[in-house]
Structure 1
């Protein structure tokens, strides 16, 4: 399958079969995240794999959606805000680096026939409690439920290219 076909195939799945994710699949998805590029190659991310039902339920307190509990695996991406590269204006790239890793994992999962949904609308304080993160620099940035899809996902609607793309610089002032 071409990369464009894979990008078209990947959808946000909000319903999963209860089947466990084979370790080989999980390792391939995690490897895709590990191989993701990061600013200055600092790799300021870690992946916390939550598989046990009791732990998934505890994490679900930070994102109390019933469909979220159906995922047999939840990968939590945490970023180290202190070790991430900072641009000359002080902009911290931890969010960008973690986003690239999550994107690699979502595409790897889709390539393997598994579903994901990038979740960012969780309660960060509750997530920190569930993950045991105290006042350290590690910040939960994304939840990535993973499993065999039990739904068809939401339709993938995208803006037209002319709405998103501009060629060349704006006229000089």
Structure 2
């Protein structure tokens, strides 16, 4: 499958089979995250793999958006190790985590594994229940699993704004 087809076909899976991920598939997904570019190659991402019944139950206390996935990643960043722009102190940690997470999502889909980017969670509870250091920012949760037979794209999956609403040539036009 071409990368273009992969990106167009991938959707947020909200219904998972209970079949555990094959270890080699999980390794490929995690390696895709490691291969992702980060600002100045600082690699501030920190990824916790949660797949035990106890771990998934604890994570379920923090978010209702795991959708019964047999595995979930807690994607964090060490903001102190991320690159910072001198002019305005922009910290690249969240951007870097987004690139890493996107790489993992696309690799998962290529392997027939669904995912759903989750930001609806209680970060304080996740931090406490998973012993996450205070200097790490919890960026997102990424449930992973083989899609259930009833899994399907959401109704808005293929809706996109027209290119002229999001892409500008040379400069932003005057606002009216």
User: Would you identify which runs of 4 or more consecutive aligned residues in structure 1 move more than 3 Å?
Assistant: none
1:1-173 superposed matches below 5 A: 1-65=1-65, 68-88=66-86, 89-135=88-134, 137-150=135-148, 151-155=151-155, 156=157, 157-170=159-172
- Contact between 1:14 and 1:117, CA under 8 Å: does it hold in 2? yes
Between the aligned partners of 1:11 and 1:25, the Cα distance in structure 2 is 19
Between the aligned partners of 2:73 and 2:141, the Cα distance in structure 1 is 6
- Contact between 1:128 and 1:139, CA under 8 Å: does it hold in 2? no
Between the aligned partners of 2:172 and 2:125, the Cα distance in structure 1 is 44
Between the aligned partners of 2:67 and 2:48, the Cα distance in structure 1 is 16
- Contact between 1:60 and 1:69, CA under 8 Å: does it hold in 2? no
Residue deviations 1:62-91 (CA, integer Å, cap 9, x gap):
1134xx151010011110011111112111
Give me the TM-score of the superposition, normalised by structure 2: 0.91
Between the aligned partners of 1:12 and 1:106, the Cα distance in structure 2 is 10
Change (3 A) 1:171 1:153: closer
Give unpaired runs (5+ residues) of structure 2.
none
The aligned length equals: 169
Change (3 A) 1:48 1:161: same
Cα RMSD after superposing both structures: 1.5
- Contact between 2:14 and 2:67, CA under 8 Å: does it hold in 1? no
1:62 is paired with a residue of what secondary structure? coil
- Contact between 1:56 and 1:69, CA under 8 Å: does it hold in 2? no
Give me the TM-score of the superposition, normalised by structure 1: 0.92
Between the aligned partners of 2:116 and 2:58, the Cα distance in structure 1 is 19
Give the Å deviation of 1:152.
1.0
Give unpaired runs (5+ residues) of structure 1.
none
Give the Å deviation of 1:31.
0.6
